[in-house]
Structure 1
Amino acid sequence: MKLKVNNVEFAYKSISVLENVSMELNRAEVLGIVGPNGTGKSTLIRCIDHILNPKRGSILLDGHNINKMSRMEIARKMGYVPQNLEGVFPASVIDTVLMGRRPYLGWKNSKEDLDCVLEVLELLGMMEFAMRDIKEISGGQQQKVLIARALAQKAIILLLDEPTSNLDIRHQLEVMEIIKNIVKNKGISAIMALHDLNLASRYADRIILMKDGKIFAVGNPTSVLTVENIKEVYGVRALVKDDGKNPYIIPLEPATS
C-alpha cells in the first residue's frame, strides 16, 4: 500500500496551517512527524485520514485519490488512533475494539469479527481487561485499546496522533514497542505525530521535521535531528549524542540567536 501526499495545503478559516506539504510513506515503515506545537502535525494526520479536507493538493492511496473513496473504503485501509478517548462512547474494552470491524460487516458482529478482536487483544496483552469499562482502565491501557481498535480494522496504514502524549515513561515505551513490532511483524506501515524527539529517534525509520506548516527536513533520525535543525525549528540549544544506533537529544537552553 503506497501513500503519497502531493502539495497539500490546509487552513482553519483564514489561518494557514499546512503549506505545500508533500511526502510518501513506504511499506513496513514507521514515519515520525515532529515539530513545535501548532506546526500542523495533527492536522496533517487528519487530512491523510480524510477527517479534514485539504484546501489544495491531493492524497493518494495506491494511486487513488481519497476524495473519491467512501469513509468505509478509507477505514479498510487506514486506522486512525487519536490522542485520547475524546469522542469514544462509554463501553467495555471488547465492544470498543469491535467497533473497528464496522467497515466490513456493519453493526452485526460475526464469529470472524469476535475472533479478530480476541486475537488483537491477546497481541496487546489486554485480554484480562476485555470486559472492563474503557473509562475505568489506565491511560496506557486506554491507548492500547485505541490501537487495538485500529488493528481490528485490518488497516494497512496506522495513523497515530500523539500516541504517547498522556502516558508515563513506562507506558510510552510499551506503546512504542508495540507499534514498532506490529509494523515489523505484520508488514504494515505507521505514521506517528510525536512531541518527544528521543522517542521519534528511537522508533521511527524516517522523520519529517515540520516548521510553520511546512516540511523543514526529512530523512533518517541522524540526518534530521541535528544541533542546527533543532536550533532553527525549536529555538533551543541542544546536545545531540549517538548511542551507536540513533541520536539522542539533550536540550540545554533557549537559543538566544
Structure 2
Amino acid sequence: MKPHSAPMITCNNLHFSYGTNHVLRGVSFEVARGECMAVLGRNGEGKSTLVKNLIKLLTPHTGEITLNGTPTTALNRQDMAKLAAYVAQHSEATQMTAFDYVLLGRKPHIQWAVGESDLQMCADMLELVGMADKQLHDISTLSGGERQKVILARALVQEPSILILDEPTSNLDPRNQYEMLGLVRQLAVERDIAVIAVLHDLNVALRHCDQFLFLHDGTSYANISRDEVTADIISHVYEVTADIIEHNGHKLVAIDV
C-alpha cells in the first residue's frame, strides 16, 4: 500500500461456501488507490468467487468487506455501481452497437436524459481501448478480444474508484494482453483507481501489477508486493517447479511440471 494511503478496498477474514464446499477460508487483504493487485492461484481456488463477493454478486458467510471505508452491506445497487466497476470473465453477446453498449455504463450517473458529456465520454473510452473504429459495429459480431475491450470501456465510463477484472485477458493474444493490462495499470495510477485483476498469466501479472494475492486451499497463502514474489511461493501455490529470471529489467517465471 502507498505510504499514508487509506485502503480503498478492505477484505477482513472472508469465509464463503457453496453448500458444504468451503471455497474461501479467512481471506484478508487491502488495496489502496493507484494500486493494481493480481489475484492468482490454481483453477478452483475461488478467485472468481472472491471478486464476486467484493461487489455483492455473492454474500460472504462471515467476514467484512469495505469499499472506501463503507461496509458493502450498507451500499445499495446504485451506490455500488458509482463506486466500483466489474468486468466479468464471460459476457453474453448482445444485439446492440459497441457504442450503445458502452453508453449503458453511464446509467448510474444519468438522472433524466443522456447528455453530450455522456456521449463524449463513451467516444473517448472507445478511443482509449482502441475500438473507436468498431463503435458502430454490432457487439455480437466482434471477436472475443474486441468484445473484452468494449466491456472495459463500458466499465471505465462508470468513472469508478474501484475496477475489478475477472480474467480480462482471457480472449486476447499475447500482445493485446500486455497492452490491456498496461492500460489498466496506467489508469490506476493516473486516475487513482484501485484495481483488482484475476489473472492466470504470471508474467503478465509481474509486468503490470504491484500487489499479489495468492490463493491456496481457500486461504490467502501470500499477500505480498511484486518484489516479494519468489519461485518457492509460485511452486507451492501451483504445485510445479518454478524459477524466476530477470530479462530486460523484468521478472519472468519459468515453469517445469
Report matched runs for 1:1-257 at 5 Å: 2-86=8-92, 89-105=94-110, 108-224=113-229, 226-243=230-247, 245-253=249-257
Give me the whole-angstrom Cα distance separating, in 1, the residues matched to 2:186 and 2:196.
Answer: 14
Contact 1:222 1:246 in 2 (8 A): no
Which deviates more from structure 2 when the two are superposed, residues 196-205 or residues 242-251?
Answer: 242-251
**How many correspondences in the alignment?**
251
Give me the whole-angstrom Cα distance separating, in 2, the residues matched to 1:90 and 1:190.
Answer: 29
Contact 2:94 2:140 in 1 (8 A): no
- The gaps in structure 1 that reach 5 residues or longer are none
Aligned-pair CA distance for 1:130: 0.9
TM-score, structure 1 normalization = 0.93
**Residue deviations 1:177-218, cap 9 Å, x none?**
221121122221210000111111111011111101111112
**Residue deviations 1:217-236, cap 9 Å, x none?**
12122312x22112211110
Give me the whole-angstrom Cα distance separating, in 2, the residues matched to 1:160 and 1:95.
Answer: 21
Contact 1:159 1:191 in 2 (8 A): yes
Contact 1:41 1:193 in 2 (8 A): yes
- The gaps in structure 2 that reach 5 residues or longer are 1-6
Aligned-pair CA distance for 1:106: 5.5
Give me the whole-angstrom Cα distance separating, in 1, the residues matched to 2:206 and 2:133.
Answer: 32
Give me the whole-angstrom Cα distance separating, in 2, the residues matched to 1:133 and 1:229.
Answer: 44
TM-score, structure 2 normalization = 0.93
Matched AA of 1:32: A
Matched AA of 1:50: K
Matched AA of 1:123: L
Give me the whole-angstrom Cα distance separating, in 2, the residues matched to 1:76 and 1:211.
Answer: 32
Secondary structure, in 3 states, of the residue corresponding to 1:99? helix
| Identity percentage of aligned residues | 37
Give me the whole-angstrom Cα distance separating, in 1, the residues matched to 2:237 and 2:129.
Answer: 35
Q: Aligned Cα RMSD in Å?
A: 1.6
Contact 1:30 1:205 in 2 (8 A): yes
Give me the whole-angstrom Cα distance separating, in 2, the residues matched to 1:106 and 1:131.
Answer: 25
Secondary structure, in 3 states, of the residue corresponding to 2:180? helix
Contact 1:77 1:156 in 2 (8 A): yes
Give me the whole-angstrom Cα distance separating, in 2, the residues matched to 1:220 and 1:161.
Answer: 20
